[in-house]
Structure 1
Amino acid sequence: MAVTILGLLRFGVSLVFGIVVSALFAGIEPTRKNRLVISLLCIIFLFVQTTSWWLLGLGLTSKLYPLIIHLPLIVIFSLYYRHPWLISAVSVLSGYLCCQAPRWFGFLAGAALDSSLADHIFYIASVFLAYYCFKKYVAGSVRKLMEKSYKSCLLLGGVPLFYYLFDYITAVYTDILYSGVEWAVQFMPSTVSVFYFIFVILYYTETQKQASLQREKDMLDTQFRLAQTEFASLWQLQQNAASYRHDMRHHFALLQGLASTGHIEEIKEYLRVAQSDIDAITPMRFCENETVNLILSAFATKAKQVEIQLTIDAKLPDSLPFSDTELCSLLSNALENAIHATKSINDGNKRYITLRVYSKNNKLCIDIRNRYQSEPLFQQGFPVSKEQGHGFGTKSMAHIVEKHGGVFQFSVKDGWFIFQATA
């Protein structure tokens, strides 16, 4: 009698355990309302299960379980809680798979003590332990994997699905498993092995992808920090020029002293040195925006040093919807790449760079073109650098443009490499 009562209790506990674990995997928030709904579902399904067992018997009820319990539960998760159908199905299948751990504990205890009563008792006791472990250590990870991507959800649901089909085909609808048929005995170990290796391959691929993205992020951060450093250096030049202008009265006093004593040659030499110093620290003016003037002035000097003819047409207001560092990173990377490509041209008469930058409808518009020695290669719309550690400047430029809701394009036309952007 006790065995029968515990067997019925075990049947009910197994149902409630499967429902609440499925709800955990589906990511149903543990609010008061949701707890009430899940409790109500447990009561309804217990009533359906008990009625079916009373009218149809335990064997037929087990065979009808997919229709009277599992499928309705998937529908409820999908329609009432508005979860994707795939996540709902994988959650229920995973909940069914989780029921197997307590079953093993009960089986081992019953076999060790040679008692069906011990089987039921240990099964019921292990259900509570299993629920605690799944809730604290497993459910969150499973839920995140299911929500990560469609492929991840399919992979995660593969083993529960195959186990579900295998269990019902070989142990519920037939007794193939217990009759010792070789294919049935080998099926699940083989399936688990296949999914294990698939998981290893996909996990390795995903790890490599994440590592590559992290390296790219680190390089972009480095580019941004370099832009900050470069802009700080340019600003220091501006400050130096201001200081030099402030000290002009001292220079005039010295020149006046030299003139009064008739030292004409000394005056000429002093003026020559002073002019050189002023040229070195005074930015050229291209437009009203001081930040852009600093950047363009620095790169005009760089281009001149490597005998590149840089033509600049800049019409920008004092204020732009970009931070100084973003402007520095965007223009510096564009001009640095152009100079790097152009200076490799053997014929010095063909080293040309043209830059047109202007504002239209409060948008920053850039058109920079340069000649090149070797035809550039493109991959996914970006020029591909053959040199190690290069190629991140263009991605940094793209990131800044996209951050401001703009568009950009890299292209080649009539011997010119062209970068155009509007943001």
Structure 2
Amino acid sequence: MAVTVTGLLRFGFSLIFGIEVSVLFAGIEPTKKNRLVTNLLCVIFLFVQTVSWRLLGIGLTSKLYPLIIHLPLIIIFSLYYKRPWLISAVSVLSGYLCCQAPRWFGFLAGAALGSRIADHIFYMAFVFLAYYFLKRYVAGSVRQLMEKSYKYCLFLGGVPLFYYLFDYITSIYTDILYSGVEWAVQFMPSTISVFYFVFVILYYAEMQKQARFQRERDMLDAQFRLAQTEFVSLRQLQQNAASYRHDMRHHFALLQGLASKGYIEEIKEYLRTAQYDMDAITPIRFCENETVNLILSAFAAKAKQAQVMLTVDAKLPDLLPFSDTELCSLLSNALENAIYASEQITDSSKRCIKLRVYSKNTKLCIDIRNSYHTEPVFHQDMPVSEEHGHGFGTKSMAHIVEKHGGVFQFSVKDGWFIFQATA
């Protein structure tokens, strides 16, 4: 009698444990309402299980478990809790798999003590420890992996599914496992081995992917810091020009002294030197926006040095969506890539860059197009470069535009490589 009672209690504990663990893995929010519904589900399924046991016996109830417990749980998770069907199924299968550790622990205790009651009692005791461990250390990682991608969810569900089928086929619907059939004994170890090696392969591929993303992120950060440094240099250049203009009275005083002594050639030489110095530090005026003007002035000098013809049409709104450093990084990368592509052309008369920056419907629009020597290669609508250390500029540009909810496009048309962005 005592064995029967503890066995039934164990049956109930197993059901509640499986439901609670499935809820954890499915990622159902632990709100007051959800907890109430989960507790209600435990009561309802306990009732169904008890009625089935009284009417059909424990053996037949175990065989009907997939229909009276597991399948309804998957449906409830999907329809009521609005969880994806795959996550719901994998969660229930994983909950079933987690019941096996307490079963094994109870079996060891029962075998050591030579008591079936000890088996049941230790099983129920270990259920609490297993639930605490799974809730604190396992459930969060499982949820994140299942929600990360369809592939990960399938992979996580593989072992629980194979074990579920194996357990029902070999020990519940038949007694193949306990009869010592060789294929049944070797099936689960072989399955676990296969999944282990698949996991190693997938994990290595994921680590490689993460390492590549980290390298790209580091490169983008370095480019952004470089843009900040360049912008500071441009501001210093502007301040030098202002200081030079402020010192004009000193230049005039010197010129006046030379003129009074009739030193005409010295005056001419001094004016040539002063004009050269002022041209070197005075930014060209392209627009009223100070930041854009500084950037365009610097790259106009670079384009001139590379014998590339740069034409600019810049009419900017008063308010820009980008910070100064973001705007510097965006335009600097675009113009640097354009100059690099254009200067590869042998005929310097065909080296051209056209930049247009304007406002439309309160949006900032950028259109940069340049001539090129080698046809650009695209991957997923992004230009790619086979040269080491190249290709990060375009990713940085895309990141900045997307960060502000804008859209961008790289394209090739009529011999022009075109970058267009709106934000």
Counting only pairs closer than 5 Å after superposition, residues 18-97 of structure 1 correspond to structure 2 as 18-97=18-97
Q: Secondary structure at the match of 1:81?
A: coil
Partner deviation per Cα, 1:205-239 (whole Å, 9 max, x = no partner): 22222222222222122221111111111111111
More displaced stretch, 207-216 vs 350-359: 350-359
Alignment-derived partner of residue 99 in structure 1: 99
* Matched residue SS, 2:94: helix
Q: Report SS of the residue matched to 2:339.
A: helix
Q: Distance in 2 between matches of 1:52 and 1:402?
A: 58
State the alpha-carbon separation in 2 of the partners of residues 197 and 114 from structure 1. 39
In the superposition, relative to structure 1, how do residues 15 and 320 fare at CA in structure 2: closer, same or farther (>3 Å)?
closer
User: Secondary structure of the residue that 1:179 maps to in structure 2?
Assistant: coil
TM-score, with structure 2 as normaliser: 0.95
Aligned amino acid, residue 201 of structure 1: I
Shift of 1:317: 4.2
Pairing of 1:1-400 with structure 2 (within 5 A): 1-400=1-400
Report the aligned-residue RMSD.
1.8
CA contact (8 A) 1:385 1:391 kept: yes
CA contact (8 A) 1:228 1:325 kept: yes
**Aligned partners of 2:284 and 2:297 also within 8 Å:** yes
Amino acid aligned to 2:210: Q
Q: 1:214 to 1:122 in 2, by over 3 A?
A: same
Q: Which amino acid aligns with 2:421?
A: A
Indicate if the aligned counterparts of 1:288 and 1:317 stay in contact, CA closer than 8 A: no
- Please give the secondary structure, in 2, of the residue aligned with 1:378: strand
Report if aligned partners of 1:317, 1:359 keep a CA contact under 8 Å in 2.
Answer: yes
| Aligned AA (1:407) | V
Change beyond 3 A, Cα 1:330–1:69: same
96-105 vs 2-11, which moves further: 2-11
Counterpart AA for 1:66: P
Q: Deviations over 1:183-217 (max 9, x none)?
A: 21121112112222222222222222222222222
- Compared with structure 1, are the counterparts of its residues 39 and 371 closer, same or farther at alpha carbon in structure 2 (3 Å cutoff)? closer
- Kept in 1, the 8 Å contact 2:93–2:160? The answer is yes
Q: Is the 8 A contact 1:227 1:328 kept in 2?
A: yes
Amino acid at match of 2:373: Q
**Which stretch has the larger CA shift, 121-130 or 25-34?**
25-34
Separation in 1, partners of 2:17, 2:317 = 68
SS of structure 2 residue aligned to 1:177 = coil
Task: Give 4+ residue runs of structure 1 displaced > 6 Å after superposition.
Answer: none
Structure 1 segments unaligned to the other structure (5+ residues): none
- Separation in structure 1 between the aligned mates of residue 148 and residue 9 of structure 2, nearest angstrom: 38
Structure 1's 350 and 28: CA in aligned 2 closer, same or farther, altered over 3 A?
closer
Q: Structure 1 residue 172: deviation in Å?
A: 0.6
Q: C-alpha offsets along residues 341-398 of structure 1, whole Å, 9 cap, x if unaligned?
A: 2222223333222223332333333332322232222222222212101111111122
Secondary structure at 2:312 match in 1: strand
Distance in 1, Cα, partners of 2:318 & 2:76 = 60
CA distance in 2 between partners of 1:216 and 1:302 (Å): 27
Q: Which amino acid aligns with 2:250?
A: H
State the alpha-carbon separation in 2 of the partners of residues 413 and 405 from structure 1. Answer: 26
How many residues are paired up? 423
Match for 1:264: what amino acid? I
SS at match of 1:178: coil
**Distance 1:210-1:264 versus aligned 2 partners, 3 A rule:** same
Identical columns (%): 83
Q: What is the distance in 2 between the residues matched to 1:44 and 1:317?
A: 65
Inter-partner Cα distance in structure 1 for 2:314 and 2:32: 63
State the Cα deviation string for residues 237-270 of structure 1 (Å, max 9, x = none): 1111111111212222222222223333332222
Amino acid at match of 1:4: T
1:358–1:35: structure 2 CA closer, same or farther, 3 Å change rule? closer
User: Structure 1 CA distance, aligned partners of 2:396 and 2:30?
Assistant: 43
